[in-house]
Chains A and B, each alone.
Chain A
Amino acid sequence: MTTRSAKVTALFVGLAVALLAFAVISAGSGQLRIPPGEVFGSVLGRLGLATDGVTHPNGEAALWSIRFPRVVMAVLVGAALASAGALMQGVFGNPLADPGVVGVSSGAALAACTVIVFGWTFFGTWTVAVFAFVGGLVTTLLVYLVSRSGGRTEVVTLVLTGVAVNAMCGAGIAFLTFLGDQQAREQIVFWQLGSLNGTRWQYVTVVLPLVVVGLVGVMMLARRLDLLSLGERSARHLGVDVERLRIVSVVLVALLTAAAVAFCGIIAFVGLVVPHLVRMIVGPGHRVLLPASALGGAVLLLAADLVARTAVAYADLPIGMLTALVGGPFFFWLIRRTRRTAGGWA
């Protein structure tokens, strides 16, 4: 199957090039334009490899205190959401599973909003992330327990469980919006729209370790997820401890979702769209799917954020709105396609 490995190589090279290109363009775009050459120069300068930096007097500051943290955050959040989606689909054996659709994101958001409204600071900068993780974990477990029966998850049950969980979390967030003061309300609204605006290095240092741990963990499950697609019993017959695989997966989904949601709010459909496109190109094998999804998610979110910042002059559109605008119709198409083919996942 040399054509397949050629495809895999092409996909990874293509995504890596796109990631780099979008990162440089994104860092150079905005009210203060910085040419790609100068962006590179600035990075090399910090590494002590070059002396020519940015020509504009405020350029260096704009790059390093505003744009680079935002670019890195977009990469991390995109990778987290897409790989969480791919993992969830693998565990549920269902390509419609996605942290947003299923309601895990809103569970994490609810917990985070609670922190905002009550102004809790138990864990310093980490408070929101910790609560988002716990909220995500509880909802993932809930969805998992409620939507499974007889060892498998039907699409309808899963989507309806998502509807119910999203409704409950929505009610909770609405109540918190009612309770909160002016400032808390604004923060909650920003949450639900999803945005990378105002990202600081401080936030990146919280999200980075979570995403790294999550991605490493996800990669370690890849082979077992392949076997799990044979069904729980057959996977067990091949030596997979299915129960343990599921618990580890649920924790990892919660971790990655929390990392994504902690500072950037709800950004839906990334975990649905990216793994699906990757599967269409290189097939469902998780050893390729998971890293390619992480990379693809990073590219997608970087591109979406670029659009969010530059589509309308002097305005920063909410990125969650953009991903939902593209992801909604995609989800619809996915359902139509499923109904037509019923390709192995009724």
Chain B
Amino acid sequence: MTHRRRALGPQDHAPTRGTVVLSAHDVHVAFDGVPIVSGVDLELRAGEVLALVGPNGAGKSTLLSVLAGDLAPSSGSVRLHGEDLHGLRLSDLARRRAVLLQEQRLSFPFHVEDVVRMGRAPWRGLPEEDDDDTVVARSMEIAEVTHLAPRLFPTLSGGEKGRASFARILAQGTRVLMLDEPTAALDIRHQEAVLVQAREQAAAGDAVVVVLHDLTLAAAYADVVAVLDGGRLSGYGVPRDVMTSDLLTEVYRYPIDVFEHPDRGELVVLPVREHAVRPTPGETDRQSSILSKGQRDARPDDPRHDLPDSPTLP
């Protein structure tokens, strides 16, 4: 870029829901002649959560690197807010998109609050800098790391590091969020919390791309799912259309069931587990006695009461 661009703040690009903010056209990436991503077309709209799913080595992280501007595609183009992504200056890019990586590392023992505050770096010297304190405090609250603020980052558990890094990404205050397996190290409550927050960001008009391994999570929280297989898009659309037993079974090379939760109607994606532990006839008494004890203790409104013994498959 030869000319200086006006700084982009959260006020800019006021979200009009449905506007395309990020688009990939016929993106190819090859390392040493080996194709990793082939002919991918994607659109990310404001107010939308896009989930990238697929088996290991399908090219999810590589595609995310391309979308984040870390890696120039071998051919094809990526446009962010209508401009060529790889032509943008790094500082400009840093005010438009934030990226949460899988691995959270830190070379020196900074305090958690300092780490979150690093997310504000792109706004230095701009009017938005005045909001630093409020944004940092708010981000830490959302990611539930406020109580960890005075702790040293390297002393945190994997899940706590993940949440602290998520707070840093939120503090960056960009309208496009890219999350690479944000739920990997988290327990169930925090997994849901991260994706609920992703939905809230989308509700506020942000655009979110998230790489996920948990297909049920993807089905529950994404507006659009992109299924990658061998670097190509095998499916792209709303979860209910794309995440079918047939397609997932083919892509993952493993039998996968997709069915609706009997009460809530959500999609549940479950691998077929032929070798799973099942109660053998001799053990039935012990199993059922444990089960009945559990049912005795459960409150009447416990959803477990309504679960059928074996889900009816579509």
Contacts and interface: CB of A to CB of B under 8 A. Distances in A.
B13 interface: no
Contacts of B221: none
B153 A344 contact: yes
A57 interface: no
Contacts of A285: 110, 114
A46 interface: no
Interface residues of A, number: 27
Interface in A176-234: 223, 226-231, 233-234
Contacts of A345: 107-108
Given A223-B121, A229-B106, A239 B93 contact: yes
A239 B95 CA distance: 8
A94 B97 CA distance: 29
A283 interface: yes
Contacts of B68: 237
A93 interface: yes
B197 interface: no
Contacts of A344: 105-109, 153-154
B118 A226 contact: yes
Contact of A238 (B105, B108, B113, B172): B172
A226 B118 CA distance: 8
Contacts of A124: none
A1 to B, nearest CB: 8
A228 B110 CA distance: 12
Nearest to A92: B107
A229 B99 CA distance: 16
Contacts of B124: 223
Interface in B25-39: none
Given A231-B101, A233-B101, A234-B101, A239 B111 contact: no
A284 B108 contact: yes
B119 A238 contact: yes
Contacts of A223: 121, 124
A279 B108 contact: yes
Contacts of A241: 90
A345 B152 CA distance: 14
Nearest to B94: A239
A343 interface: yes
Nearest to B93: A239
Contacts of B109: 279, 283-284, 343-344
A236 B93 CA distance: 9
B108 A229 contact: yes
Secondary structure call for the A interface: loop
A185 B250 CA distance: 76
A230 B103 CA distance: 10
Nearest to B122: A239
Interface in B152-207: 153-154, 172
Contacts of B103: 231
Interface centre among A94, A223, A230, A231 (most CB of B within 10 A): A230
B95 to A, nearest CB: 8
Nearest to A286: B108
A279 B90 CA distance: 30
A95 interface: yes
A8 to B, nearest CB: 13
Interface in A234-254: 234, 236-241
A237 to B, nearest CB: 5
B83 interface: no
Nearest to A228: B107
A277 to B, nearest CB: 14
Contact of B90 (A90, A236, A284, A343): A236
A149 to B, nearest CB: 15
B215 interface: no
A185 B152 CA distance: 51
Interface string B79-93: 000000000001111
B110 A229 contact: yes
Nearest to B105: A231
Contacts of B118: 226-227, 230, 238
B111 A283 contact: yes
B210 interface: no
B124 to A, nearest CB: 8
Contacts of B107: 90, 93-94, 228-229, 231, 344-345
Interface string B51-89: 000000000000000001010000000000000000000
B310 to A, nearest CB: 45
Nearest to A95: B108
A90 B91 CA distance: 21
Interface in B265-293: none
A227 B110 CA distance: 11
Given A223-B121, A233-B101, A344-B153, A238 B110 contact: no
A234 B99 contact: yes
Nearest to B95: A239
Q: Top 9 A-B pairs ranked by shortest CB distance?
A: A93-B107, A239-B94, A344-B154, A284-B108, A239-B91, A229-B107, A237-B99, A239-B122, A238-B121
14 contacts: A90-B107, A223-B121, A223-B124, A226-B118, A227-B118, A237-B97, A239-B94, A239-B121, A239-B122, A241-B90, A283-B109, A344-B105, A345-B107, A345-B108
